[in-house]
Structure 1
Amino acid sequence: MPVKGSLKYWWSMENNKPITIENKSLYKTLIRVALPIALQSLIASSLSLVDNLMVGSLGEVELAAVGLSSQFFFVHWGVMFGFVSGSAAFMAQYWGRQDLKSMRRVTGFAVVLCFGISMLFFIPAMFFPHYVLRIFTDIPEAVELGQHYLRTAAICFLTLSVTIPFTAVLRTTQQTALPMKISMVVFSTNTFLNYLFIFGSFGAPKLGVTGAALATALSRVLELILVLYVVFGKKNLVAGRLNEFFGWHRPMVAKIMVTAVPVMINEAMWSLGMAAYNAAYGRMGITEFAAIQASNTLNTLFILAIFSLGDALLILVGQRIGMGQMDYAYALAKRLLRIGILVGIASGTLLILSSQLIVRLFNFTPQGQMYAFLIISVYGLFMPVKIYSGLNIVGTMRCGGDTRFAMFIEVGSVWLIGVPLVFLGALYLHLPIYFVVLMAQTEEVIKVIICHKRFRSKKWLNNLVHDI
């Protein structure tokens, strides 16, 4: 129970003694670990917002074309993030044991698998972009513009397959400032190149939507170069001999696959679910989809920054699990979840208050502005609920290897509740876009109830590395 002073106590049922979590130490650790991740996410989201403002200034059709093209990248990101997030549980627990060689093996395995999967996205994006976009919309203008974007930016699939695993291992070893600094350089470069190629500034060709794709591709190549330089050129503690990254053994690979594949399926199916949402929105009209694109960009600005707490939860709690401190891990996770709820309430309020000002920056019709404001209001109201369930799935369940249960929650809530409701509201009942978005939040309410029960059961607490 709480006591006066700077300490917080949680009672250990297993050892029948109190567990002490020092507030000052916890907040210092969160600042060191979570704040750089939050800043990195905030930079990425802010510059993504700037990019969308630049493309949006060309018109609603151009913004919709880029938004629809981005859905394929979004699905790819989900698959990469899923497998790497599942692998990060092993990275965190090996780091807790100071077993750097095993941590490098996990990283190398993640890179190889991610590269292979990325090829499955690169080939259709490069050679069949028209058919890919027809999955998401039946608006001919959006398909025509979007296919040039998709083909030009296709190289990003391959670069991300390397940068995402190495970024994860840098964060796991609490070197979160390094990925943040790289992101500052990369995303600032992306914004400048967008200005250069979208509008034809400083004598560059005026390429419009294709210019936005070219800027993204060049920036992602730069990111790959910087990540490899920071790790290997600067001889970071993550760096090692080549055989340390590829010297896998069967028990390790089997356990990683059992734990990480459900996360990959989870994120892939969730990303496909969000893409299905957008496929429904994309058939409601250009104005409706442009409003969704702008709203999602602004919402992501807050969501990704807050989810840095989920990354910190996975890292900090995962280390305690790797050290065998199960009661402390549970108490720490409980504490971080409470902090997440408070941050979610504050962020949801700020999102709603800032929405009117930011929405006016887009070149929208009055109807488009109204749609965007109402959609953002729905996102803001449900943000604390989304954050709590998200921190459980991305943080607690993954760091303890409870990935199959997390997969069933996420996939089931999206595909059995969210997607049917969105298609029902959008294509059959023909409801306003903001009401369809409200219907989609039903899945978040169901998900948070199940997540809370699972957390309290402690079934997610598992030591993954003690026997390999």
Structure 2
Amino acid sequence: MFTKDKNFYRTLARLMVMVVLQNVIAYSVNMADNLMLGAYCQDALSGAAAVNMIQFMVQQLTMAIGDSMIVINSQYWGARNTSPIHKFTGLGVLAGLLLGGLVFVLTTSCPYWILGLFTGDEAIIAQGLAYLELIRFTYPIYILTTVLMAALRSVETVGISFAVSLLSLAVDVGINYTLIFGHFGFPEMGIRGAAVGTLTARILELAVILLYLGFRDQKLRLSVSRMFRIRAEYFRDFFKVLCPLFFTQIFWSIATPIQTGILGRLSSDAIAANSVSTTMFQYLKVVTVGEASASAVLMGRTVGSGDMDKIKSYSRTLQVMYLIFGLLLGLGLFLMRKPFLSIYTLTDEARVMADQILILMSFIMVGMAYQMPTGSGIIKGGGDVKFSLVVNLISTWGIVMPLSFLAAFYWKLPVVAVVALLNSDQIFKCIPIAVRANRYRWIHRLAKPSK
């Protein structure tokens, strides 16, 4: 029933560990920035948080481009046909540059209006404008770097992404510490110092990736002539995958701040309790994200090879592994909640509320650890990109959002009940995703035979 292929486990472990470590480092960069800005000035922290909402949207849309490349390229990689990989990587780069250029123009031409969408406080907007003045240059750089790293991941090259993230952490934290507070004889720049650190780290990331592609990479062997001589059929195939993923990320990225806003309207204790709980949950969630990313590459490669026995065996094995990891993560979250909460200074009510939320999230974690990698790893990685869009539209906008809004503002349910409803899709989505995964209707051969 389950695969005995040792290469499967070796490949999955290598891909998953590297992606998990990369995500932990990326999350740690944000945490370090928040801690240092919070220690410097509350308005600076809030201003950076407002600008980071733009970064959040950029990340989600960039993820759609990167995932599109992984879904298609990994199948061609499995079919051992690398020529189309060059073309689809070129299309990903073009889409990324278009997105980066658009974001840069918008943040340059109307920054005050954009920040006004997230806050009405003039002091926070002023800090945000000072931060955005430099951060806007990072968007095209970040998008291009992320797209190129996705191309490398699609052919199972993941070590360089981890190395780049580690270097970025060291540079960003070092410069932020120096320039935010004015240490080592440097001027005290406050929030602009944080922007300098982020911009420098982004430039360095792109430089390292380009150097790696130019001098060390032996799989992609990218060149301008290979990437940008693109026939019309490649455009059609790429955007057929990109469009559903793009809209999935748009709808999800819009829903996330609305969900946060629902809790934010309840009480200051609710905001604090949810913030603390989310921090710990996100750190453990990176394991699930790593599973999903590794599985997408692995299943795409296997579908591209056309070996149906392996496809089914790998799918069953992965689903059992997701459940085991989910149970371990849920148990870990439950057992670590008390020591974690002891770090924070909270009111008694907020502490009790945070403890209740973490107990709830321990169960939510089990469902999420199954449905997310199954949906994003197996099903999407196997070429079925429309299913995720349909499931998320129905679950988030048809069920979760209306019920959560009613629970918070009409039924006046306790905060923990509202949090339960906001995260309920992580449980009930397990049913349609399990049915879809085990009927194998997600197996879509996107890799065309070489001519």
Task: Name the residue aligned to 2:445.
Answer: 463
Q: AA paired with 1:400?
A: G
CA contact (8 A) 1:60 1:286 kept: no
Q: Distance in 2 between matches of 1:366 and 1:55?
A: 26
Counterpart of 1:67, as a letter, is A
Match of 2:370 among 388, 399, 405: 388
Q: Is the Cα contact below 8 Å between 1:59 and 1:363 reproduced in 2?
A: no
Say which of 267, 278, 291 aligns to 1:296: 278
Partner of residue 168, structure 1: 150
Matches within 5 A, 1:80-159: 80-138=62-120, 142-159=124-141
Aligned position for 2:209: 227
Cα distance change on mapping 1:99 and 1:24 into 2, 3 Å: closer
Shift of 1:330: 2.2
CA spacing shift, 1:462–1:380, aligned 2, 3 Å: same
Q: What is the CA distance between 1:231 and its match in structure 2?
A: 0.9
* CA distance 1:212–1:424, change in 2 (3 Å): farther
With 254-263 and 202-211 compared, the bigger mean Cα shift is at 202-211
| Structure 1 pair 73–257 and aligned structure 2 pair: CA distance change class (3 A) | same
Superposed, 1:213-252 pairs within 5 Å as 213-252=195-234
1:77 counterpart = 2:59: yes
Query: Are residue 424 (structure 1) and residue 406 (structure 2) matched?
Result: yes
Deviations 1:417-450 (A, max 9, x none): 2333343344555656544322201222232211
TM-superposed deviation, 1:362? 5.2
Helix, strand or coil at the partner of 1:202: coil
Deviation readout 1:47-106 (Å, 9 max, x if unpaired): 333333333435766545433432221111111101220221111011112222211111
The TM-score, its normalising length taken from structure 2, stands at 0.90
> Percent of pairs identical after alignment?
24
Tell me how far 1:192 sits from its aligned partner: 1.8
- Unmatched 5+ residue regions in structure 2? none
Equivalent in 349, 367, 391 of residue 331 of structure 2: 349
Residues 342-392 of structure 1, C-alpha deviation per residue, up to 9 Å, x if partnerless?
Answer: 112212232343344445545666655555444444333201211222112
Q: In the alignment, does 2:47 pair up with 1:57?
A: no
The question of whether the paired residues in 2 share the 8 Å contact of 1:56 and 1:362 is answered with no
Q: Please tell me the residue identity of whatever aligns with 1:204.
A: F
- Secondary structure of 2:156 counterpart: coil
C-alpha contact (below 8 Å) 1:53/1:361 kept by paired residues: no
- Taking a change above 3 Å as real, the CA distance of residues 450 and 251 of structure 1, as seen in their structure-2 partners, is same
State whether residues 76 and 268 of structure 1, in contact with CA within 8 Å, keep that contact through their aligned partners in structure 2.
no
Distance in 2, matches of 1:421 and 1:221, equals 44
Deviates more, 1:181-190 or 1:349-358: 349-358
Listed one character per residue, the Cα deviations across residues 141-168 of structure 1 (whole Å, up to 9, x for unaligned) are 5444434334432222211221112111
Q: Which piece of structure 1 moves more, 187-196 or 175-184? A: 187-196
Aligned equivalents of 1:99 and 1:109: distance in 2?
Answer: 17
User: Measured at CA, do residues 119 and 235 of structure 1 come closer, stay the same or move farther in structure 2, by a change above 3 Å?
Assistant: same
Cα pair distance change 1:351/1:148, threshold 3 Å:
farther
1:136 touches 1:279 (CA, 8 Å); kept in 2?
no
Higher mean C-alpha displacement, 371-380 vs 382-391: 371-380
1:200 lines up with 2:182 in the alignment: yes
Give the aligned partner of residue 291 of structure 2: 309
Aligned residue pairs, count: 450
One-letter amino acid matched to 1:439: L
Match of 1:185 among 167, 185, 188: 167
TM (normalized to structure 1)? 0.87
Q: What is the SS of the residue equivalent to 2:136?
A: coil
Distance 1:180 1:402, change over 3 A: same
Alignment-mate amino acid for residue 412 of structure 1: I
Q: Quote the offset at 1:40 in angstroms.
A: 1.2
Aligned with 1:175: secondary structure? coil
The CA RMSD measured in Å over matched residues stands at 2.7
Output the CA distance in 2 between the equivalents of 1:367 and 1:247.
62
Structure 1 position 283, deviation (Å)? 4.5
Q: Which residue of 1 aligns with 2:305?
A: 323
Q: Distance between the aligned counterparts of 1:378 and 1:197, measured in 2? A: 41
Give the Cα separation in 1 of the matches to 2:4 and 2:170.
Answer: 38
Equivalent position SS for 2:429: helix
Residue 404 of structure 1: aligned partner: 386
Match of 2:254 in 1: 272
Q: What is the CA deviation profile of residues 157-211 of structure 1, one whole-angstrom value per residue up to 9, with x for unaligned ones?
A: 2112211121112112222111111111112222222222333322333344443
State the 4+ residue runs in structure 1 displaced beyond 6 angstroms.
none
Q: Secondary structure at the match of 2:370?
A: helix
Q: CA deviation at 1:226?
A: 1.1
User: Larger deviation: 221-230 or 281-290?
Assistant: 281-290
Structure 2 Cα separation of the partners of residues 51 and 358 of structure 1 = 20
Cα deviation 1:224-272 (Å, max 9, x = unaligned): 1111111113354323321111111111210111122101111121111
Q: Flag the 1:144–1:297 CA change in 2: closer, same or farther, 3 A.
A: farther
Measure, in 1, the Cα distance between the counterparts of 2:330 and 2:379.
Answer: 24
